[in-house]
Structure 1
Amino acid sequence: MFRASDDLLMPQPPQFRRDPFRSHWTILAPERSARPQVGLGMLPRQSFPDDPALCPFCPGREDQTPPAVLTYPADPSGDRTAAWRLRVVPNKYPAVRPDLGTPYCQADESQAEAPAMGRSEVVIETPRHLDDPKRLTLAELADLFRAYQDRLLALAQEGTWTCAAVFKNVGAEAGASLPHTHSQIIALPLLPRPLAQESAVCRTYLERTGRCLTCALLERELHKGHRLIARSEHFAVLAANAPRFPYELWLAPLRHQARFEHQDPTAFQELAQIWHQVLAALDDACHQPAYNWILQTAPWQGDGVDHLHWRVELLPRLTRPAGLEWGFGCYIVAVTPEEAAATLRQHLPPLP
């Protein structure tokens, strides 16, 4: 792995930065790290009781989930305590359902309604009862990315859905309701506003410059190195330029690729390696924070996707959004991206 050289970072006065894709504003305010915070400590990775004997995702309790839509069988030469090494099942408690008929919206300026049609799935990433994705083996992490690809391809073939939300909540503070490590995939018949806004911005940039906005960003960051955390042959990990949370980071392929499901699967082992390194560095530097990771990939419906470039975002829950964030979409972050990148570079473990 390549690590950028660390430069001495001078203290900065408060600074506005705008996210290039969705145009939200971040206020970088390093001085706020010294303010008193009575009653607030590190946000919990897990804060709910964990009884493995009751876990519905563990082997032997397959009847507690709906029938699997995807199963990777166990390796005959490996652990034989389970017949599978990964399962994808419909969510037993879905936010959206595929049986609600054709979406219909009756809207005026005051109201818009439609049946919550969609598919909601859970990726059970390992038969082992783990609450920490960093403890997944590289083979298990590679399987996870392969499962994302397999399900995205299958859902796209249905021809019903506009896009898919693929995400993982780690820790109760980040929204996890069960400790057994898992991800979620939700296929939607609509395009959420942030995705539509990003698509419009990236399309305009391509028309104006002839280049992909993400490719241009990667080229600049690889040259300067200030926000580069790690790099491999095909992927780079950067600290977000206008973070919503301290230590927010993005992973993107160096080669232009709009849809994650079109990624060459032979690169998933490499992807697993660099991602495992980054998870370990984050846990070491930030004392195992709760976090969300989110796969941003091009929608299935729309007028072309050449202007888009997939990425994985990781948002550590190191602070709680408050009035400015919720009311105005403007984020206050006390750690600069350059400082976050330098810290994470120092905590990167060696390759296994």
Structure 2
Amino acid sequence: MLSNRPVAYPWHLQVQPVWFPPWLLHQRAKPLAQAADGIAPGTDRFPPLGPMWYSFPGAIAKNVSGAAAGICRCSVFRASDDLLMPQPPQFRRDPFRSHWTILAPERSARPQVGLGMLPRQSFPDDPALCPFCPGREDQTPPAVLTYPADPSGDRTAAWRLRVVPNKYPAVRPDLGTPYCQADESQAEAPAMGRSEVVIETPRHLDDPKRLTLAELADLFRAYQDRLLALAQEGTWTCAAVFKNVGAEAGASLPHTHSQIIALPLLPRPLAQESAVCRTYLERTGRCLTCALLERELHKGHRLIARSEHFAVLAANAPRFPYELWLAPLRHQARFEHQDPTAFQELAQIWHQVLAALDDACHQPAYNWILQTAPWQGDGVDHLHWRVELLPRLTRPAGLEWGFGCYIVAVTPEEAAATLRQHLPPLP
């Protein structure tokens, strides 16, 4: 309960009880993180000077210059009126695939029946029946890649990571002639491809945040090893590398795992992105991702975390609230060509971000997707690999499915500020 006695804070940060209007409660104090950072939602300008108020349990209160002023618990900050009022909707365009997002913070105050922001649902789980656990290797096809257990460590299994062909594949490599991308009249073809499952740990975990840093580094190394091996086959155009966490995101088994699907064709979103990035390179002489990273690092509004070689940003035109992207700071088109000595660092920053997302959004279901350059085409200097993370906090509806236009009630700037506040310290 808040006391009416004034709290001694510097002149630029005063604390006192303030009544919350209902629309602010519905918006979960949304402008507050930005007010604390001195950023007006959806803009690049600073708010008018004056006392800023906010309620944010455990939040770091900041003055208008962005400098930390202290930890405030059960305290309330007051922002200038233009920050406390709901912000008008705004269009944002994705620079790579040109989809439009409508940022509409006011929609989070609308009445609705149901879950609203969707939490991750639990699986019915019996470890004794899990086909991915040690001792049941005969329930999967023979492994195409195995990392043996460290004999000097805690030997819970003979392996620490396995990659196996998918027992129930959507594509198969033995179906004859692959799809011919050059023949536009071809509307059907055998679904050739390779479908693999990466079993990330022998431990029966349902949450990738509980992977150790060594296990996360192994996971990225396995992605690299399998991408290199699939590329050498010379049959496939590209590979889809992704992870589904939670039933709402498409996971069918709780034991943490990823998937790799090699395809003989280039899906339209990848072809469109390649064309956009090539045009930008020809026009400016620069990689589009490198240019965006430089701008975001300079402004900082959408920056969530940064290490020596990687940065994590809130997506400018998100498809879901809190969508984020990780990319290497040094230009690199293909993930499989990434220096493997950086995987430990990659594991650290990714583990931080997963922990922040779970803490801020109450363990949402999500998909993470590795976007890396295709193996066939006229050069890849215009492309830059990245990992996208899509929290399944809302359900796509008619506008999204029918028109490819997304409505999101959380601005990227707000999402970045919130996730920054929830980042755990590096181990």
TM-score scaled by length of structure 1: 0.96
Deviations 1:62-104 (A, max 9, x none): 0000000000000112222200000000000000000001215
Counterpart contact for 1:285–1:344, Cα < 8 Å: yes
> CA-to-partner distance for each residue in 1:130-176, whole Å, 9 max, x for gaps?
00000000000000000000000000000000000000000000000
Alignment partner for residue 414 of structure 2, among 333, 339, 349? 339
Equivalent of residue 266 in structure 2, options 191, 195, 198: 191
Q: Relative to structure 1, is the Cα distance of residues 104 and 239 closer, same or farther in structure 2, using a 3 angstrom cutoff?
A: closer
2:360–2:419: 8 Å Cα contact kept in structure 1? Answer: yes
CA distance in 2, matches of 1:16, 1:274: 30
For the 8 Å contact 1:48–1:172, the answer to whether it is kept is yes
Provide the C-alpha distance between the structure 2 equivalents of 1:143 and 1:124, rounded to a whole number of angstroms.
Answer: 11
| Closer, same or farther: CA 337–89 of 1 in aligned 2, 3 Å | same
Ranges in structure 1 where 5+ consecutive residues have no aligned partner? none
How far the C-alpha of 1:5 sits from its partner, in A, is 19
Preserved CA contact (<8 Å) 1:105 1:112: no
**8 Å contact from structure 2 (residues 287, 384) kept in 1:** yes
CA contact (8 A) 2:179 2:264 kept: no
CA offset digits 1:195-249 (Å, max 9, x no partner): 0000000000000000000000000000000000000000000000000000000
Partners of 1:81 and 1:7 in 2: CA distance:
57
CA separation of 1:104 and 1:262: change in aligned 2, threshold 3 A: closer
**Residues 228-237 or 31-40, more deviating:** 31-40
What is the rounded CA distance, in whole Å, between the counterparts of 1:147 and 1:286 in structure 2? 29
Instruction: Give 1:47 deviation, angstroms.
Output: 3.7
Partner secondary structure for residue 179 of structure 2: coil
Give me the whole-angstrom Cα distance separating, in 2, the residues matched to 1:331 and 1:224: 25
Between 1:247-256 and 1:77-86, the stretch displaced more is 77-86
Identify if the C-alpha distance between structure 1 residues 109 and 216 changes in structure 2 by more than 3 Å, giving closer, same or farther.
closer
SS at match of 1:122: strand
Which residue does 1:210 correspond to in 2?
285
Question: TM-score, normalized by length of structure 2?
Answer: 0.79
- 8 Å Cα contact 2:86/2:106 also seen in 1: no
CA contact (8 A) 2:102 2:408 kept: yes
Q: Deviations over 1:329-348 (max 9, x none)?
A: 00000000000000000000
* Inter-CA distance 104–153: structure 2 relative to 1 (3 Å threshold): closer
| Change in CA separation of 1:49 and 1:3 when aligned onto 2, cut-off 3 Å | farther
> Residue 111 of structure 1 aligns to a residue in which SS?
coil
Structure 1 CA distance, aligned partners of 2:119 and 2:125? 14
Moved over 6 A (4+): 1-10, 106-111
Q: Structure 1 residues 165, 117: CA separation in 2 closer, same or farther (over 3 Å shift)?
A: same
Q: Runs of 5+ in structure 2 lacking a partner?
A: 1-75
Contact 2:180 2:186 survives alignment (8 Å): no
Report which of the two structures shows the higher radius of gyration computed on alpha carbons.
2
Separation (CA, whole Å) in 2 of partners of 1:38 and 1:32: 14
Q: State the Cα distance separating 1:111 from its structure 2 match.
A: 6.8
CA contact (8 A) 2:165 2:196 kept: yes
CA distance in 1, matches of 2:77, 2:309: 11
Is the contact made by 1:244 and 1:315 (CA closer than 8 Å) also made in structure 2?
yes
Q: 1:64 to 1:218 in 2, by over 3 A?
A: same
Q: Using the TM superposition, give the Cα deviation of residue 110 of structure 1 relative to its aligned residue in structure 2, in angstroms.
A: 8.5
Measured against aligned partners, the alpha-carbon deviations of 1:308-327 in whole angstroms (never above 9, x if no partner) come to 00000000000000000000
Shift of the 222–11 alpha-carbon distance from structure 1 to 2, 3 Å rule, reads farther
Q: What residue number does 2:405 align with?
A: 330
Question: How far is 1:45 from its partner?
Answer: 2.0
CA separation in 2, counterparts of 1:106 and 1:21?
22
What root-mean-square deviation, in Å, do the aligned CA atoms of Structure 1 and Structure 2 show? 3.4
Q: CA deviation at 1:7?
A: 15
* Offset of residue 107 of structure 1: 11
Alpha carbons of structure 1 residues 220 and 96: separation in structure 2 relative to 1, 3 Å: same
Contact 1:230 1:345 in 2 (8 A): yes
Give the distance between the partners of 2:81 and 2:195, measured in 1 at CA.
43
Aligned to 1:275, what secondary structure does the other structure show? helix
